[in-house]
Structure 1
Amino acid sequence: MSHPRTPHRRSGRSTLRLSAATTAALLAGSALTLTLPAVGAVAATPGALSAGIPTAAGAPVPFTEYNAATSPFAQTNGTRLGPNYQYGSLAAEATGRQAVQLVGQGKYVSFRLTKAANAVDFHYAVPDSLHGGGITAPLSLYVNGKATTALSLTSQFSWLYGTYPFRNTPGTGQPNGQVPHDFYNDVRYQFPKTLPAGTVVKLQVDAGDNAPWYVINTADFEQVAPARPKPAGYADVTQAPYGVDNTGATDVTAALQAAIDAASAAGQGLYLPPGTYTVSAPLNVDHVSIVGAGEWYTVLTGKNVEFNGKQNPSSSHVEISGLSLYGNVDVRDDSNTEDTGFNGGFSDSTISDVWIQNEKVGAWIIGPSTGLTLRNLRIQDTTADGINLNAADGPITGALVTGNFLRNTQDDGLALWSENYGDTQDTISHNTVDSPGLANNIGVYGSGTGDIISDNLLQDTVTRGGGIGIGQRFDSVPMSGPLTVTRNVLVRTGQWDAGWDYGVGAIWFDPEQGDMDAPVNITDNAIVDSPYEAFMFQNSNAYTGAAVTTPPTAGHRVSNVSIKDNLVAGVGSYVFQDQAPGSVSVSGTIATGVGIAGVFSCGAGFAINRGPGDFGWSSSTCGMPPTSPLLTYPSTTTFENATVGQATPVQKIALMNTGTAAATLGAIKASAGFTVSADPAHPCPTTLTPTSPTDSGNWCMVDVSYVAGAAGIRTGTLTIPSSEGRAPATVQLIGDTDPIGGTGGVAPPSNLALDATMTASSSLQYFPATNANDDNDGSYWESEDGQPFPQTLTADLGASQPESSVVLTLPSNWGSRVETLSVLGSTDGTNFTTLVPSADYTFDPATQNTVTIPLPPGTEAQQLRLSVTGNTGWTAAQLSEFEIFG
């Protein structure tokens, strides 16, 4: 594909009956068990599906999932978004391609439980701030009409921009790589008691819930078992001789590593009781069993939250289960391998029942490795892959990846990457992979012998990939095969690729770096509501021409592929898109709801050798759709912290012609309160050229700003008439005068302390004063424990300058505490005067443990000092960030 790939290297089920005679039965949620009809219900014509057609694809997850927009047990007075398949839209990245948006007080979405539950995980989106740091905003949670809590939602771990590998700096640009994306995150909550079936749980925008909008996609309700007690014979890490802190207040990396090493040497299991364990570096594991109290009870969090296995030889006999890993990764940095849940080599090991969120990767396994099982993992909201078996330093043999639930990974959900050696006799089965943000639900790059991909539920590919991608790519070893792909269900998989300017198939082959002639057997799979083609054979060289139908003169071949007894129930374009030279054998493949034709073939030299039992895809054509809706992004554009009567800074909105005929544009208009103007760098002409990978004339941008007529929120629409599609394209516009997220989405004032010299009256070893201005709220300064108060922290700015406020933070996952302190100032570093008298300041996790202290008007100092005289949470002064603003 057109994006580069950088290796990440070392240093409750519900049941839905599906009719194949119609594509209207869109799956409403993920993690479903699919019950497909008998053969007679599929087609009243010759050609039978085998008895192996999938009946229970997907992971056996512990929760019941409700889609806010489509579940019959969900109600809302908000706006239902979607279905939408366009990259850059909130709906396209949602499970089911639909979600509910709440704008303004009183808007709600509720869920009536069909099963008892005592916990819930919401998949949600809120807007970013204009400077890209994210916002944090509450949202009220009700149970049977009674206000229960306010959930803290954040966009800190979502919203990426620019070209691969992306960044946090907001911007909109060319369709091939500069589309704002990665909108979703997850928040979980455990109720004080079990809620019986029939209970109504509601999310509602109340006064103080000050995000301009909230989007709720899914709610996963489950009955969480009580915390697991210490198994017999295991050592409790919080007890002597280890004494590991499980309050989250201190960094326990060294203490926890010492406990792991001692348990490994003694051949003893290690138990992590309920609590929060703050770490800052990977934990090395080998020959050890580590058990937590459960995913909802034992939480490891901080920076570089990772269990690391050895390589050459790999770690072995590692057992880890019953805990959660919560990272703080908000951007993809392929130079850092220390932000992955499980990383390195593991043999004869089992990793199970672990919740992994906000990491770069869930599990990156590097060979050599034999006999590894990855089971019942819940991996969400990563900036790269979910699980990648990367045979870089040796083969990965006999791995079993099963029962895992993955959602919103920003690269492949699951991957077999035979980089230098083979992935051999590995099995990927009974997993659910939802909404991978880049690449495939499952990717195979090269392969060894005897790999199996079976019984997986794959849904809602976001961009640049399909449900299952099989390729000779990324410098992988040549495929040897056989590779078996069987009994998988692929729903709404595949997506438009703005680098190729045509769609990617649900199951697709890419011989980018060499011929592919290893045996691949694709049997008994169901492809449901694919937005583009069902099966695709990509050419290693780009197609060209105004209609992207002209094949190149050469390309690597694909052969020895058997496609047998598969069901295609709804496909937007073709059953087969044949662009590479080669051949495939097809039999027993039944298709209904074909969008354009059975086969796309434009002279690439590809042969389909048809056997008995095929039905519904006999037509053939050479041509992409001449008319196709305009691609517009971002589909929701938000103007935050607007001042009444003043225009906000402009935001850019892009539009692209995705059809193979020229698109004539009409007058682009915005609702009252919003103004639209030509973008100086990429103004929109009257006509956009036909889609073509080599022509930039098929896209343009407009600039939009907002003038608030009154305080509050205002919604509007940007309307783009054109000759494409049945109706004008639209973009949702939302203006808000509320200064949310601390900065309200405008460029924040500069934190003067970032360049200051930081000193302290005392510092605990490994917790220096410089931690308080490293722009990382996961690290912190702590004075020496038990030393008498007051303890001071001083920032020297180098010269006197105006200051208006200081902002103090503690790690956001710490419990509430009160610190008593005063603020002093000096112009010479010797004589200090009191600027703010001593007072109690509460650090509350509900407000991200942040305290803002205004300074007296006219304050101008070179040194600002905090004098701490008390701390209810510890016998020392503690601060993660001491920020100073002018």
Structure 2
Amino acid sequence: MGAAVALAAGMLVCLAPAAHAAAGATLPFTSVEAESATTTGTRIGPDYTQGALASEASGRQAVRLGAGRRIEFTVPRAANAVNVAYSVPDGQSGTLNVYVNGTRLSKTLAVTSKYSYVDTGWIPGSKTHHFYDNARLLLGQNVQAGDRVAFESTGTQVTVDVADFEQVAAAATQPAGSVSVTSKGADPSGQGDSTQAFRDAIASAQGGVVWIPPGDYRLTSSLGGVQNVTLQGAGSWHSVVHTSRFIDQSGSSGGVHIKDFAVIGEVTERVDSSPDNFVNGSLGPNSSVSGMWIQHLKVGLWLTGNNDNLVVENNRILDTTADGLNLNGSAKGVRVRNNFLRNQGDDSLAMWSLYAPDTNSSFENNTISQPNLANGIAIYGGTDIAVRNNLISDTNALGSGIAISNQKFLDPFNPLAGTISVDGNTLVRTGAMNPNWNHPMSALRVDSYDSAINATVAITNTTITDSPYSAFEFVSGGGQGYPVRNVTVDGATVRNTGTVVVQAEAQGAAVFRNVTASGVGSAGIYNCPYPSGSGSFALTDGGGNSGWNSTWSDCSTWPQPGQGNPPQDPNRNLAKGRPATATGSQDVYTPGKAVDGDANSYWESTNNAFPQSLTVDLGSAESVRRLVLKLPPSSAWGARTQTVAVLGSTDGSSYSTVAGPQGYRFDPATGNTATVTLPVGTDLRYLRLTVTANTGWPAGQFSEVEAYSTS
């Protein structure tokens, strides 16, 4: 690498990181955002203000439906079921009419505020939160990609956030030799109390399988003494257990396998002294939880005691008033992978090394959306921990996308030790204003809150997009000025941070390599340790960094985008750095060259094959008033006219014409630039330019496509 140099001395040329596995879980459903659907309702957001309805929505946007108003989704895949994330005003309930291709179903979707509007006044800085809930429905028919599913308010105001479309498999059949809970008297109608029947079936099936047939089962108290048994349902849409406390036990010999059913509770407020959890305590070593739907509980899994080699995979954890999962000390070899978590009231996934360290455990390939009071993933202490290939979006209020922290909360605490590997994660719209500090938190935070960080913290292959504040933060959040040491950030792409790329507020050091940034809001670096005079933070340039070598100069002020939707430059180019695709490209002249900010590089379509199209995904629906189309400014490019039509789409599948085909003159004498003015009210996410002719070359050509919201 050669001698390292200070970042302030300048950046080196970017070196592209190696190819890496995709972040997030492989899910059985496809989500469609409400703001991309067709609606007669009102779009709200984007908004980042704690306590605002849009701020807790996926994408920070949603659609409000008054009485008789409708939202219609284009189905992205074959499906027979839908889950809708929604909000209704506090204290209200209602229904949504459901339509498939314009025909109203006999079924309706019930909506309620019962599980929303949670108050946690004992947590400093928290406000009423947890505004959204999820409701699911089997449609009773198959729909295909391109079909339309609509929801209509019947009177209650309903704010729709996102719809998940899924093809639910038929109910599984009973495994041979298993003990059915109904054979012990369980009531699949949900009317009777099935608690004792579940206990009796577990006692009878030691070493075997307890079968939970399709149906609804009501338990009035928790199960204990669960060990050496498999609890298996017919599928999470078919076998449903209604209880707010499923398993509560301090220990187990292990070998517990829980799979393929739903546990749905009735938890409406967070009471930390109550074990209102799917699992509270221990399943014992070599256990597993898979294929579960867990909803309306305080915590999904609050794990204490011996849970060594536990595997938690392929589950959905929704609408918990506190954590989704917390390894609360002493866990060894735990793997939490390929899970989907939405709308947690605290950390979605956490390891907390209380009493003993969590060791050699990992969170891998999970998709996390809308933790509305804390972090997406939090590691509080522990030894040799990995956080790999997770997709986290839309944190709100008191947290980051990922927090690596020595915040102890209670003693005895085991600080970070060994190697903490944070690799391949994608963070979208993560980070928030902390109302206690009146200070922002980053997308990825390393925090020496209660003690110095001496572990090796290796942060690699990270993508951070649209952080409302900063990308990376190094802080001693307890205000004691403990150092953050031994950190490397190697391979990161940062796009559109509201303030800075690096927020350094502790003494210590970090090395940065191959970190590229674009769309930086204020400056590359804020380096102002707190408390003042507690020591400096050394940022070392390991090479390959670009786009963030400026430094915020005044430590007496924070570069504030405002606690609300961080203001963007109204003249910013909405297309710069966004994903681009094309119907074809010639040699190295690929679509991304048209949005890379370099007017000397260019996209060229397949030759002699008009029409050709270039499509840019702006990331969210934007009001676009003006396009600036460019060719390289070099005089070697002769003047030419290209015939271009402009199309737009909000969902990426249905396009409408925004500006019809017209010839645009590109002349190097005037900068090789053409401007396209679009009609007022042009809202689109996907911008498509279709080229049907070019007098200078038999292909479509653009060196830059710029989109602006100003006329």
Q: Deviations for 1:295-352, whole angstroms, at most 9, x for unmatched residues?
A: 00000003x33123442xx341111111000000000111111433454243101110
Paired residue total: 545
Name the residue aligned to 1:407.
Answer: 342
Q: Shift in Å at residue 627 of structure 1? A: 6.2
Give yes or no for contact 1:343–1:365 (8 Å, CA) kept in 2.
yes
User: Is 1:346 aligned to 2:290, yes or no?
Assistant: no
The equivalent position to 1:49 in structure 2, one of 13, 16, 20, is: 16
The equivalent position to 1:317 in structure 2, one of 229, 245, 255, is: 255
Name the residue aligned to 2:164.
Answer: 220
Give yes or no for contact 1:497–1:504 (8 Å, CA) kept in 2.
yes
Name the residue aligned to 2:394.
Answer: 460
CA distance in 2 between partners of 1:485 and 1:339 (Å): 28
Give yes or no for contact 2:48–2:564 (8 Å, CA) kept in 1.
no
The equivalent position to 1:115 in structure 2, one of 77, 81, 84, is: 77
CA distance in 1 between partners of 2:249 and 2:23 (Å): 31
Q: Shift in Å at residue 625 of structure 1? A: 5.0
Q: Deviations for 1:356-387, whole angstroms, at most 9, x for unmatched residues?
A: 00000011111322110000110000000001
Give yes or no for contact 2:76–2:165 (8 Å, CA) kept in 1.
no
User: Is 1:299 aligned to 2:240, yes or no?
Assistant: yes
User: Is 1:609 aligned to 2:557, yes or no?
Assistant: no
Give yes or no for contact 1:139–1:153 (8 Å, CA) kept in 2.
yes
Give yes or no for contact 1:286–1:310 (8 Å, CA) kept in 2.
no
Give yes or no for contact 1:49–1:524 (8 Å, CA) kept in 2.
no
CA distance in 2 between partners of 1:399 and 1:223 (Å): 30
Q: Deviations for 1:400-459, whole angstroms, at most 9, x for unmatched residues?
A: 1001000000000101111121111112111001110111000000111x2111010000
Name the residue aligned to 1:862.
Answer: none
User: Is 1:539 aligned to 2:476, yes or no?
Assistant: yes
Name the residue aligned to 2:29.
Answer: 63
Q: Shift in Å at residue 146 of structure 1? A: 1.6
CA distance in 2 between partners of 1:434 and 1:315 (Å): 34
Q: Shift in Å at residue 192 of structure 1? A: 1.2
Q: Given the superposition, is the C-alpha separation of residues 541 and 359 from structure 1 closer, same or farther in structure 2, using an over 3 Å criterion?
A: closer
CA distance in 1 between partners of 2:178 and 2:283 (Å): 25
Give yes or no for contact 1:576–1:598 (8 Å, CA) kept in 2.
yes
Q: Deviations for 1:105-135, whole angstroms, at most 9, x for unmatched residues?
A: 2x11011112110000000000003xxxxx2
Q: Given the superposition, is the C-alpha separation of residues 367 and 405 from structure 1 closer, same or farther in structure 2, using an over 3 Å criterion?
A: same
Q: What does 1:851-866 correspond to in 2, within 5 Å?
A: none
CA distance in 2 between partners of 1:419 and 1:200 (Å): 50
Give yes or no for contact 1:440–1:461 (8 Å, CA) kept in 2.
yes
Name the residue aligned to 2:502.
Answer: 576
Give yes or no for contact 2:471–2:497 (8 Å, CA) kept in 1.
yes
Name the residue aligned to 2:437.
Answer: 500
Q: What does 1:517-596 correspond to in 2, within 5 Å?
A: 517-542=454-479, 555-596=481-522
Name the residue aligned to 2:363.
Answer: 428
Identity between Structure 1 and Structure 2 (%): 37
CA distance in 2 between partners of 1:455 and 1:577 (Å): 23
Amino acid at match of 1:257: R
CA distance in 2 between partners of 1:414 and 1:178 (Å): 19
Q: What does 1:77-92 correspond to in 2, within 5 Å?
A: 77-92=40-55
- SS of aligned partner of 1:415: strand
Q: Shift in Å at residue 631 of structure 1? A: 5.4
Amino acid at match of 2:394: D
- SS of aligned partner of 2:292: strand
Give yes or no for contact 2:450–2:478 (8 Å, CA) kept in 1.
no
Give yes or no for contact 2:475–2:484 (8 Å, CA) kept in 1.
no
User: Is 1:140 aligned to 2:97, yes or no?
Assistant: yes
Name the residue aligned to 2:190.
Answer: 248
Name the residue aligned to 1:382.
Answer: 320
User: Is 1:597 aligned to 2:523, yes or no?
Assistant: yes
Q: Given the superposition, is the C-alpha separation of residues 202 and 561 from structure 1 closer, same or farther in structure 2, using an over 3 Å criterion?
A: same
Q: What does 1:197-208 correspond to in 2, within 5 Å?
A: 197-205=145-153
User: Is 1:331 aligned to 2:269, yes or no?
Assistant: yes
Amino acid at match of 1:276: D
Q: Deviations for 1:548-576, whole angstroms, at most 9, x for unmatched residues?
A: xxxxxx51111011111111111111111
Q: Given the superposition, is the C-alpha separation of residues 190 and 246 from structure 1 closer, same or farther in structure 2, using an over 3 Å criterion?
A: same
Give yes or no for contact 2:48–2:60 (8 Å, CA) kept in 1.
yes
Give yes or no for contact 1:471–1:511 (8 Å, CA) kept in 2.
yes
The equivalent position to 2:301 in structure 1, one of 355, 358, 363, is: 363
- SS of aligned partner of 1:92: helix
Q: Deviations for 1:663-719, whole angstroms, at most 9, x for unmatched residues?
A: xxxxxxxxxxxxxxxxxxxxxxxxxxxxxxxxxxxxxxxxxxxxxxxxxxxxxxxxx
* TM-score, scaled to structure 1: 0.60
CA RMSD of aligned residues (A): 1.9
Q: Given the superposition, is the C-alpha separation of residues 322 and 161 from structure 1 closer, same or farther in structure 2, using an over 3 Å criterion?
A: same
* TM-score, scaled to structure 2: 0.74
Give yes or no for contact 1:229–1:293 (8 Å, CA) kept in 2.
yes
Unpaired runs of 5+ in structure 1?
1-43, 130-134, 166-175, 543-553, 633-657, 660-886
Q: What does 1:827-842 correspond to in 2, within 5 Å?
A: none
Q: Given the superposition, is the C-alpha separation of residues 330 and 305 from structure 1 closer, same or farther in structure 2, using an over 3 Å criterion?
A: same
Amino acid at match of 2:185: G
Give yes or no for contact 1:305–1:325 (8 Å, CA) kept in 2.
no
CA distance in 1 between partners of 2:538 and 2:562 (Å): 32
CA distance in 2 between partners of 1:224 and 1:540 (Å): 45
Amino acid at match of 1:263: A
User: Is 1:159 aligned to 2:117, yes or no?
Assistant: yes
Name the residue aligned to 1:511.
Answer: 448
User: Is 1:308 aligned to 2:248, yes or no?
Assistant: yes
Give yes or no for contact 2:180–2:213 (8 Å, CA) kept in 1.
yes
CA distance in 1 between partners of 2:217 and 2:322 (Å): 24
Amino acid at match of 2:444: I
Name the residue aligned to 1:210.
Answer: 155
Amino acid at match of 1:319: H
CA distance in 2 between partners of 1:234 and 1:319 (Å): 14
Q: Deviations for 1:136-160, whole angstroms, at most 9, x for unmatched residues?
A: 2111111111211221100000002
- SS of aligned partner of 1:238: helix
- SS of aligned partner of 1:88: coil
- SS of aligned partner of 1:65: strand
Give yes or no for contact 2:12–2:543 (8 Å, CA) kept in 1.
no
CA distance in 2 between partners of 1:186 and 1:614 (Å): 42
CA distance in 2 between partners of 1:540 and 1:150 (Å): 48
CA distance in 2 between partners of 1:343 and 1:330 (Å): 21
Give yes or no for contact 1:325–1:341 (8 Å, CA) kept in 2.
no
CA distance in 1 between partners of 2:51 and 2:406 (Å): 29
Give yes or no for contact 2:119–2:269 (8 Å, CA) kept in 1.
no
CA distance in 2 between partners of 1:65 and 1:343 (Å): 33
Q: What does 1:636-675 correspond to in 2, within 5 Å?
A: none
Give yes or no for contact 2:349–2:378 (8 Å, CA) kept in 1.
yes
Q: Shift in Å at residue 628 of structure 1? A: 4.7
Name the residue aligned to 1:127.
Answer: 89
Unpaired runs of 5+ in structure 2?
1-10, 530-534, 568-711
User: Is 1:443 aligned to 2:371, yes or no?
Assistant: no
Give yes or no for contact 1:345–1:366 (8 Å, CA) kept in 2.
no
